[in-house]
């Protein structure tokens, strides 16, 4: 990945559709919560009758969706939040699915998405898929369709006490300059991604400058304090789609076997062959085409 101080220079080789997509400026918003402010952005569409909520994964942020959101069908207004403790949202003492779900419902209320009979569709990648599935299970009247992207849904009997986190377990480090920290940017879990311009774009918005230097935006304690869905079973009443990466470690795992069996009557499984776990980065056009096909059916 080409890394300089100039984002525009570094993504110059990106395809035309990417440049066109990121030129679509979203409306920036904030929601005040007792536990801290939460930032989100909105792409509004004239006369849209539906809302799509895009939920990012662990340690990510709303800008991951900048190249994706404008490609979603014109009948949908798009909302992309920074989950608490990530992106530009404020950090908290602890993190859990109840808190994530509450924040997202409050955002939908603030955008009047729940008060005017608009249809609500949730799309989440990795952790974001889990959160989307949690909201669809706990608040089925608010959800008209669900897309989970390479989210490892584990059986209710899974022992999270033995779960090994793949994220930072140490205090955030500060770097002297912007280029130094950008060169340390890595996907978690680790994988190769050929779309360097996409990586460079999200890296730009993954960092911030403080008086001590440059640091990652996410709360490094998130990985240790996140309370998982222990002894929890997803149940979907709305149409549901699971999208797996063909090169993801998840695809041939026992977890995927469980997903196919447990949700065979409530969720369709599709595979994007060339993608690994980070499907939105690996295969953005294939992903949005697939999503649009299902959203059109569900509307």
Give tens-digit pLDDT for 203-238.
Answer: 999 999 999 999 999 999 998 889 888 889 999 999
Please choose, from the candidates 80, 82, 93, the residue with its C-alpha nearest in 3D space to the C-alpha of residue 222.
Answer: 93
Percentage of the chain modeled with pLDDT above 70: 97
Position 159 scores a pLDDT of 77
Apex CA 58: angle with CA 78 and CA 62, to 5°?
30
pTM (2 decimals)? Answer: 0.96
DSSP codes joined into one string, 93-125? S-EEHHHHHHHHHHHHHHTTSSSS--EEEEEEE
Please choose, from the candidates 226, 183, 221, the residue with its C-alpha nearest in 3D space to the C-alpha of residue 204.
Answer: 183
Position 109 scores a pLDDT of 95
Cis peptide bond upstream of 189, omega within 30: yes
Position 85 scores a pLDDT of 97
DSSP codes joined into one string, 220-286? TTHHHHEE--TT------S-EEEEEETTSTTTTSHHHHHHHHHTTTT-EEEEETT--S-HHHH-HHH
| 256 class by beta-carbon count within 10 Å (0-12 exposed, 13-18 middle, 19+ buried) | buried
Position 12 scores a pLDDT of 97
Q: What is the CATH number of domain 16-298?
A: 3.40.50.1820
Q: Cα torsion at 72, 74, 76, 77 (round to 10°)?
A: 90
The alpha-carbon radius of gyration of the chain (Å, integer) is 18
Q: Which residue has the tokens 């800008």?
A: 63
Sign of CA dihedral 127, 213, 92, 64: negative
- 170 pLDDT exceeds 70? no
With beta carbons less than 8 A apart as the criterion, state whether 157 and 254 touch. Answer: no
- 84 pLDDT exceeds 80? yes
Q: Which residue has the tokens 């798009």?
A: 78
Apex CA 74: angle with CA 7 and CA 88, to 5°?
40
- 166 pLDDT exceeds 70? no
Q: Cα torsion at 90, 5, 180, 173 (round to 10°)?
A: -10
For 173-182, what is the mean pLDDT?
A: 95
Tokens of 104: 């997202």
With beta carbons less than 8 A apart as the criterion, state whether 291 and 147 touch. Answer: yes
Tokens of 213: 């230097």
Phi, psi of 103 (to 5 degrees): -60, -45
Q: Which is more confident, 162 or 201?
A: 201
* Domain limits, the chain: 16-298
Q: Cα torsion at 5, 9, 15, 17 (round to 10°)?
A: 80
């Amino acid at each position: 990945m080409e890394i300089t101080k100039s984002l525009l220079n570094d993504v110059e080789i990106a395809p035309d559709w990417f440049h066109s997509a990121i030129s679509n400026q979203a409306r920036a918003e904030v929601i005040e919560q007792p536990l801290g402010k939460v930032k989100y952005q909105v792409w509004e569409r004239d006369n849209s009758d539906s809302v799509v909520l895009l939920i990012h994964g662990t340690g990510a942020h709303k800008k991951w969706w900048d190249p994706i959101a404008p490609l979603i069908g014109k009948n949908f207004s798009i909302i992309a939040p920074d989950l608490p403790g990530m992106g530009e949202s404020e950090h908290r003492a602890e993190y859990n699915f109840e808190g994530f779900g509450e924040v997202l419902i409050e955002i939908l209320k603030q955008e009047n998405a729940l008060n005017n009979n608009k249809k609500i569709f949730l799309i989440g990648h990795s952790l974001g898929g889990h959160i989307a599935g949690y909201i669809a299970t706990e608040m089925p009247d608010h959800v008209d369709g669900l897309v989970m992207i390479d989210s490892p849904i584990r059986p209710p009997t899974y022992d999270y006490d033995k779960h090994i986190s793949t994220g930072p377990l140490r205090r955030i480090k500060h770097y002297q300059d912007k280029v130094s920290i950008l060169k340390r940017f890595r996907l978690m879990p680790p994988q190769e991604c050929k779309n360097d311009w996409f990586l460079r774009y999200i890296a730009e918005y993954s960092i911030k400058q403080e008086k001590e230097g440059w640091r990652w935006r996410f709360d490094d304690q998130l990985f240790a304090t996140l309370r998982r869905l222990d002894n929890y079973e997803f149940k979907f009443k709305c149409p549901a789609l699971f999208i797996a990466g063909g090169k993801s470690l998840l695809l041939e795992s026992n977890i995927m076997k469980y997903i196919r069996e447990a949700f065979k009557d409530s969720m369709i499984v599709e595979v994007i062959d060339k993608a690994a776990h980070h499907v939105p980065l690996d295969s953005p056009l294939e992903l949005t085409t697939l999503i649009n096909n299902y959203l059109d059916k569900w509307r």
